[in-house]
Amino acid sequence: MQIDLTGRTALVTGSTRGIGLAIAVEIARAGGRVAVNGRSRDSVARAVAAVRSEVPDADLLDATADVTTSTGVEALLRVLPQVDVLVNNLGIYEAVGALEIDDDEWRRYFDVNVLSAVRLIRTYLPGMTARGWGRVIDIASDSALVIPREMVHYGTTKTALLAVSRGFAKEAAGTGVTINSVIAGPTHTDGVEDFVYQLVDRALPWEEAQREFMRAHRPQSLLGRLIEPAEIAHLVTYLASPLASATTGAAVRVDGGYVDSIVP
């Protein structure tokens, strides 16, 4: 199976680290031009260097912008007026008691995790449909289906993102543009290491802390370990490719069997 994204431009939001960075690497490896996005030029520059260390001939673009605001998207459009592949990866999460989340925090989570994706789809989808080809991939989470007690606000926004993907897929029906969401399971990133240590003893070495976290807080996982970011990126790169032309409006799981269901 040959995945070739030569001639395609991809925007990956929140791609300065973690899953987003891994997606940028894999799309670049497949020959795509990648717009690396973050809020600061320093973080984007470091991410560009990290991608080039993996893919020396990568075609990369600095897409520094705060995509959670309309002014940020306007600035982004000046350097990136059109894309072929839009990966809405940007998201925030934190362990907080359900009764401790106030209205402002709920709004912040929806602004970042949901409305940033909606705004970018609304911005770039018309160009994709006019050209008759495009891919939109929204990075959701197992928390969209199994709402975690310690992150009700996060899980709720990821549930909303599944609906966003399905709804816009209907808008793009018959145009050659596919829109899907990816249900990512518990994944090993720097941010997740911090999250794990919010829930288990900080004195534990990382390997022990990870095992304790999975045993105590994610026992449903059939994989029995955290997923590596590249494993998420492999599926995203496939969905971004011409090979995934018949997959749209779907919620595709790469969750290590965490969600106890035989269908998404």
Q: List, as one string, the DSSP characters of 118-178.
A: HHHHHHHHHHHHHHT-EEEEEEEEGGGTS--GGGHHHHHHHHHHHHHHHHHHHHTTTTTEE
Q: What is the pLDDT of residue 95?
A: 86
Q: What is the pLDDT of residue 224?
A: 83
Residue 117, token pair as written in the block: 């994706």
154 is catalytic: yes
11 close to 35: Cβ distance less than 8 angstroms: yes
Residue 118, token pair as written in the block: 């909606």
Taking the C-alpha atoms of residue 231 and residue 251, their distance in angstroms, rounded to an integer, is 16
248 close to 262: Cβ distance less than 8 angstroms: no
Q: What is the pLDDT of residue 189?
A: 86
Closest CA to 140 of 111, 113, 122, 108: 113
Residues of the chain with confidence (pLDDT) below 70: none
Q: What is the pLDDT of residue 61?
A: 98
Q: What is the pLDDT of residue 195?
A: 81
Q: Exactly one of 109, 154, 197, 238 is catalytic; which is it? A: 154
User: In order of start, what are the domains of the chain with their CATH numbers?
Assistant: 9-187+230-254 (3.40.50.720), 188-226 (no CATH)
